[in-house]
Amino acid sequence: MKIKTEYNIYIGLKESNMIKDISMQRALKSINGHFSEHGITGFNIQKIKGFWESKGEQSVLINFINTFGIQRRAIYKAIESIKKDLRQDAILIKENPIKHEFV
């Protein structure tokens, strides 16, 4: 088995003012577009309930294992572009080393 980095990325579906909702369609278009630009061509996405400043909001959880060999700075650049595009104050990123194998 190989060890690669797993990324879990949490993005709220409200703009930074916590008033205007972001549609799932808009979020998916932004995420897929910016990821594709940086070579991230496979990921999973789930709609979840999150909280920011004690206020609930719809959110998305993106998960992928960096089997693409993309440099960390390119991944963060894609996330920064998504952050700007979706007008977010912050996006949470978790990185975990993980053993994986395609069967």
pTM: 0.91
Q: What is the mean pLDDT of residues 82-94?
A: 95
Say which residues have a Cβ less than 8 Å from residue 82's Cβ, sequence separation at least 6.
11, 30, 31, 34, 88, 91
At residue 75 the predicted structure's pLDDT band, cuts being 50, 70 and 90, is very high
At residue 15 the predicted structure's pLDDT band, cuts being 50, 70 and 90, is confident
- Tens of pLDDT along 25-72? 999 999 999 999 999 999 999 999 998 788 889 999 999 999 989 999
Structural domains of the chain ordered from first start: 2-100 (3.30.70.120)
